[in-house]
Structure 1
Amino acid sequence: MKQLKWFNKIAYILNIMLVVLTLLGYLLPSMAPKLFPFLSVLTLILPTLLMLNLVFVVYWAIQLKRQVFLSIIVFLIGYTFFTKFYKFTSKNEEVVESDFTVLSYNVRLFNLFNWMPNENVAENIKRFIEEQNPDIICFQEYSKSADYELDDYKFRHIIMHGKKIKTGQAIFSKFRIIDEGEIALPNSDNNVVYADIVKNKDTIRVYSIHLQSVNISPDINEIDESKSKRIFNRLSEAFKVQQLQSELIQAHMEDFKGHKIICGDMNNTAFSYVYKNIIGDMNDAFVEAGKGFGKTYNYKYYPARIDYILVDEVFDVKEFKTYKDFKNSDHFPIMARLNMKDKKKDN
């Protein structure tokens, strides 16, 4: 460091601070938010920390400085974290008859309160569903205000709560549903619903989850300094609630020994304790077959991926799509094409 000029000394100190924060970020998924609420908020900026490490790699590499290895090593240690944030290549295997598709979409009550200046949101979503023709649909923030039927889906499980305004979740399926239920989340307006769906000879439990919201405006311009402390506290409290919710989901899943698919809105990143707790040894369909940032929530300046399709290892994720150009909610629809790895020949 003695051989560095004053500007590079400052840059190196900043690089070291960045490395410490990044390494801490790698540990956060294993740290319960209720024990470390302050630190858990850092999971939201881990992708930014990874990108800044790449900036330092380029900065030192241009000057042929050995300090380049600091961020290179840190980045390589956390490469699996980066693939949850950005995928360079996608996957799109040949379609076979036994494939089936699962779509997840937080529809934001079909624009019931006119958040968007678009009177045709419900009809647009219906047309989108008809065009994509998924076999299974999981809707979060569902409302019957849309006032239409999805005729191709004979089987459905809908749970609505509320007095004047009823909202909830819905699972629509072209395959037969033989059992269904709900996981009530204490002290929350959110919930989890599930349906046991029979495809061929297999029973697949599909969960649609909607975890505690952090209630932050997608317009960053609305966040000023006076609101930042309240937002920070709100995030910390929301993550503690999400921890309890994820533990309830995890315990419920352990009681079912069949194949599972989890869809929905976690309101948290893929670097969080909540995500790690729920995914367990399952696979993230975006990581398996997606491409790009996989942005699912319409933050203006940040590619937030908070909606997921998670599948047991028995499923082969043959294709994954994020419909980021379909702007009829504050979320974007996601869809995965799946097949049973050990059942292809039998199907």
Structure 2
Amino acid sequence: MKNLSWFNKIVFVGNIFVGILTIAGYFLSFLAPKIFPLLSVFTLFLPSFLIVNLFFLLYWAIQFKKQIWLPLLILAIGISNINKFYKFSGIDEEKAKSDFVLMTYNVRLFNLFNWIADEEVPDKIKEFVDLHDPDVLCLQEYSKNTKLKFKQYPYQHIISHGSKIQTGQAIFSKFRIIDKGEIKLPNSNNNVVYADILKEEDTIRIYSIHLQSISISPDIHEKIDETKSRKIFNRISKAFKEQQLQSELIQSHMNDASFPKIVCGDMNNSAFSYVYRNIRGNLKDAFVEAGKGFGKSYDFAYYPMRIDYVFVDEQIHVKSFVTHSDFINSDHFPIITRLTLNK
């Protein structure tokens, strides 16, 4: 550090500070939100720390400075976290008869309250589903108020709650559903549905989840002062505590299923959170396995938020994974993955 200019010394001090925050961020997924509610909010910012470390890496590399080892070491330690945030290359393996395609999509009540100034949104969603024709279709924030019919799916499992405006979850399947049910989430309008599908001679359990919302609007334009920032932090930390309980209920329910499982849907949390780690457990993240780019699944203007997931059992191989971020007919984007069950 003695040979550094005064400016580079300041930069290096900043590098150390960001490095400490990044290392701390690596461990935040192990801290239960109920115990550390405010700290859990910082899991949303870990990708930003990773990006800043990358800039430090490039900064020292251009100058051929030995300080490059600091950001390089920090990024190397968190390589698994980098893969959760950004994938440099995806895969798209050759199709086979044994493959099946799953789509998960938070349809935001099919634009029931005209958040998008387009009356044709429901029809566009229906056309998108018809075009890609997945074998299993999981829809979150499904509304029975729409008159859409997905007739290509002979087997359906839909559970909605509410009086005037009913919203819930829906699982549509081309494979026979031999069992189905719901995990009720206490003190929440959100819920989880599951269905056991029979693919040839194999049973696969599908969970479609929608966890507590953190209530961040995708089109925030108002000025955020200190008071509003504090309110947002408190609201998010409260939601994360509720999500912890919800994730524990889901994990407990999954432990009772002996056959391969797929968990998909809107988790309303980042891939660096306690909730993500708890629900994923020993399952594989399909985006990490076969995705590409940021995997942005929520239409938020200021940040590539990935809060919708597909987790699959070790017995299930991910052959392709695509987030259709160009299809903007909800505040979420549809995810399509092609899978096969290993024999």
Q: TM-score range by the shorter chain?
A: over 0.9
Q: 1:255 — aligned with what?
A: 256
> Does 2:329 correspond to 1:328?
yes
Q: 1:340 — aligned with what?
A: 341
Map 1:184-333 onto structure 2 (within 5 A). Answer: 184-225=184-225, 226-333=227-334
Cα displacement string for residues 279-306 of structure 1 (whole angstroms, at most 9, x for unaligned residues): 0111011111111110000010211000
Give the share of equivalent positions with the same residue, in percent.
60
Give 1:45's aligned amino acid.
F
Give 1:61's aligned amino acid.
A
Separation in 2, partners of 1:9, 1:33? 36
Displacement after TM superposition at 1:60 (Å): 1.1
Displacement after TM superposition at 1:63 (Å): 1.5
Give 1:297's aligned amino acid.
Y
Displacement after TM superposition at 1:38 (Å): 1.4
Displacement after TM superposition at 1:219 (Å): 2.4
Map 1:106-145 onto structure 2 (within 5 A). Answer: 106-145=106-145
Q: What TM-score comes out, normalization by structure 1 length?
A: 0.97
Map 1:165-176 onto structure 2 (within 5 A). Answer: 165-176=165-176
Q: 2:25 — aligned with what?
A: 25
Instruction: Please identify, of 226-235 and 261-270, the stretch whose mean Cα deviation from structure 2 is larger.
Output: 226-235
Give 2:108's aligned amino acid.
R
Separation in 1, partners of 2:98, 2:60? 51
Separation in 1, partners of 2:267, 2:274? 11
Cα displacement string for residues 197-255 of structure 1 (whole angstroms, at most 9, x for unaligned residues): 00000111100000000001112423511411100100110111000000000000001
Runs of 4 or more off by more than 3 Å in structure 1? none
Q: 2:58 — aligned with what?
A: 58
Give 1:50's aligned amino acid.
L
Instruction: Please identify, of 223-232 and 78-87, the stretch whose mean Cα deviation from structure 2 is larger.
Output: 223-232
Q: Is the 8 A contact 1:220 1:301 kept in 2?
A: no
CA 1:114–1:103 in 2, change beyond 3 Å: closer, same or farther? same
- RMSD, aligned α-carbons: 0.8
Q: Is the 8 A contact 1:324 1:333 kept in 2?
A: yes
Q: 1:49 — aligned with what?
A: 49
Give 1:281's aligned amino acid.
N
Secondary structure, counterpart of 2:145 in structure 1? helix
Q: 2:182 — aligned with what?
A: 182
Give 1:259's aligned amino acid.
P
Separation in 2, partners of 1:32, 1:7? 40
Instruction: Please identify, of 117-126 and 225-234, the stretch whose mean Cα deviation from structure 2 is larger.
Output: 225-234
Instruction: Please identify, of 260-269 and 30-39, the stretch whose mean Cα deviation from structure 2 is larger.
Output: 30-39
Separation in 1, partners of 2:218, 2:110? 18
Separation in 2, partners of 1:233, 1:222? 18
Map 1:74-85 onto structure 2 (within 5 A). Answer: 74-85=74-85
Aligned residues: 342
Q: 1:345 — aligned with what?
A: none
Unaligned runs of 5+ in 1: 343-347
Cα displacement string for residues 38-81 of structure 1 (whole angstroms, at most 9, x for unaligned residues): 11111101111001001001111111211110010000000110
Separation in 2, partners of 1:121, 1:64? 53
Give 1:118's aligned amino acid.
D
Give 1:263's aligned amino acid.
C
Q: Is the 8 A contact 1:175 1:198 kept in 2?
A: yes
Displacement after TM superposition at 1:2 (Å): 2.8
Unaligned runs of 5+ in 2: none
Q: What TM-score comes out, normalization by structure 2 length?
A: 0.98
Secondary structure, counterpart of 1:257 in structure 2? coil
